[in-house]
């Protein structure tokens, strides 16, 4: 087993990042192999989440893992969500810095719900429901966006505040970065009830 190639927005085959992913209908060894390879890829890249479209597979699957933290009971375990859907989101939103393995070296501030409840299936097809708070909730929302063809840069309200970090005199300093307009997509309009 080896790490998969992570597709970036700068790659020729980046269109997979902008397409809504297909629902997983077949569970079995092939899906388990994909999930195992995604976990390895995420860890090798130093990420905390990875969606299948980021490795060129247009399926509704993502993996996530928070670094071990004694004070966060959500940390230290791998989350595998198949066909996830946010069924409840807190009204309270928080702004936080996000980056993405598919947009390497670029960061921006995004508003996200502080808490979400997600309904999904596990790798064997069993229905699961998870409540995520704080950073894990942010990761879940970020990865579900990937499954819908949305990138974090689409949610950044102030594109002039996009940044990269460079090392200067033994410390990391934020410097502004500009992405060409064609890398952004308008967000879909919310559906009225």
pLDDT tens, residue by residue, 56-89:
999 999 999 998 888 888 888 999 999 999 999 9
pLDDT, one tens digit per residue, over 92-115 is 999 999 999 999 999 999 999 999
pLDDT, one tens digit per residue, over 1-31 is 568 999 999 999 999 999 999 999 999 999 9
pLDDT, one tens digit per residue, over 145-167 is 999 999 999 999 999 999 999 99
Looking up tokens 């064609």, which residue turns up? 182
- The pLDDT mean for the chain works out to 94
Give the whole-number percent of the chain exceeding pLDDT 90: 85
Alpha carbon distance 105, 60 (integer Å): 25
Q: What is the pLDDT of residue 189?
A: 67
Q: Which of 93, 143, 170, 175 is catalytic?
A: 143
SS3 143: helix
pLDDT for residue 188 is more than 60:
yes
| DSSP for 22-60, written as a single string | BPP---SHHHHHHHHHHHHHHHHHT-SEEEGGGGT--BS
Is-catalytic flag, 143?
yes
Quick one: fold of 14-180? Peptide Deformylase (3.90.45)
Residue 190 — very low, low, confident or very high, per pLDDT cuts 50/70/90? low
The pTM (predicted TM-score) of the whole model is 0.93
């Amino acid at each position: 087993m080896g790490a998969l190639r992570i597709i970036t927005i700068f790659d020729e085959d980046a269109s997979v990042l902008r397409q809504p992913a297909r629902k997983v209908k077949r569970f079995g060894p092939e899906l388990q192999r994909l999930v195992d390879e995604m976990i390895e890829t995420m860890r090798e890249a130093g990420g905390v989440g990875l969606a299948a479209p980021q490795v060129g597979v247009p399926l509704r699957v993502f993996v996530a893992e928070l670094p071990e933290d004694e004070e966060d009971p959500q940390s230290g375990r791998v989350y595998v969500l198949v066909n996830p859907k946010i069924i409840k989101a807190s009204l309270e939103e928080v702004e936080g810095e996000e980056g993405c393995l598919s947009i390497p070296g670029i960061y921006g501030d995004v508003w996200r719900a502080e808490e979400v409840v997600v309904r999904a299936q596990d790798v064997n097809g069993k229905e699961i429901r998870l409540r995520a708070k704080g950073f894990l909730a942010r990761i879940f929302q970020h990865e579900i966006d990937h499954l819908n063809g949305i990138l974090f840069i689409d949610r950044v309200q102030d594109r002039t505040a996009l940044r990269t970090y460079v090392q200067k005199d033994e410390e990391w300093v934020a410097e502004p970065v500009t992405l060409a307009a064609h890398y952004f997509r308008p967000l879909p309009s919310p559906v009225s009830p």
